[in-house]
Amino acid sequence: MEQKRQICSDEEIPDIVRGHEVWIEYDRHNISHGADVECKLCFGHNMKSERAVEIEKVRPTVCDARGKEYDAYVGLGGDHLLVRFTPEREGYHTLGVGYNSGILNLPHPGLEGPKYYQQYTKTIVPVGRPREDYDIVIGHELEIVPLDYRQYHVGDDILLKVLYAGHALAGATVYAIYVGNEDDPIEVQTDHHGRAAVELKNDGKWMFKVMHRDSEKSADLYDEKVMTATFTVMEMW
């Protein structure tokens, strides 16, 4: 007798499959070297945080403008995780986090076959009074790099470059989200250099997001790798 195929409802689909992502937020005021920097690792959709992800699946990376790496502590913080590090000098510091959700095989139309879900996020934390422009690649498989990072103001353009496996990713859609446009993000396509420019029309926090799927990374264990990368800018005025 033919076995009846189980179909799961939308409520049974994991959040990471439904389009949720991780991102980083922090209070950027008065950050000085030698003092702890505490950031929130949020999980939700388009800057609407819902819950904390599993600590054991999180891998943080912190480095300063000279490439020096720092240890980072990850702990629970209510409906989010906390990532803490202690900078030793003034300047820009990059905090990146990889979130490995692993392989999911869902019996749902359009989701058939095992898929590997991996997410990345990063932000840049100014410590003291940074004096240099700052572009740094921390080596995530999918990564958004701000070119000539600086203190941004409303009306400025931010120029971003999307990298996949260390190379420019052309034709990717970059979503730009701020508080107020969560349901209708700005969409910009990367050019053949992997670059996209976004005008920062509003103050406050911004998140930039890109997604990429690769069926060639199967490793015989899954039929597709599904990746999301986010980059956040915490404040402008």
> HSE on the CB side for 179, CA within 13 Å?
9
**pLDDT the model gives residue 4:** 31
Q: Which residue has the tokens 């996949």?
A: 164
Contact 52, 79 (CB under 8 A): yes
**pLDDT the model gives residue 145:** 97
Q: Look at residue 226 and give its three-state secondary structure.
A: strand
Q: Which residue has the tokens 């989200």?
A: 177
- pTM value? 0.91
**pLDDT the model gives residue 237:** 65
d(CA 94, CA 191): 25
**pLDDT the model gives residue 11:** 59
Q: Look at residue 161 and give its three-state secondary structure.
A: strand
Going by C-alpha positions, the residue among 227, 161, 158, 152 that lies closest to residue 186 is 158
Q: Which two tokens stand for residue 234?
A: 């915490």
pLDDT by 10-residue block (mean), the chain, 237 residues: 39 83 87 89 92 94 90 92 94 95 85 90 92 84 94 94 97 95 94 97 94 84 93 85
**pLDDT the model gives residue 32:** 84
* Residues 6+ away with beta carbon under 8 Å from 224: 113, 115, 116, 213, 214, 215, 217, 218
The β-bridge relationship of strands 157-164 and 195-199 is antiparallel
User: Structural domains in the chain?
Assistant: 20-233 (2.60.40.10)
**pLDDT the model gives residue 109:** 79
Contact 105, 116 (CB under 8 A): no
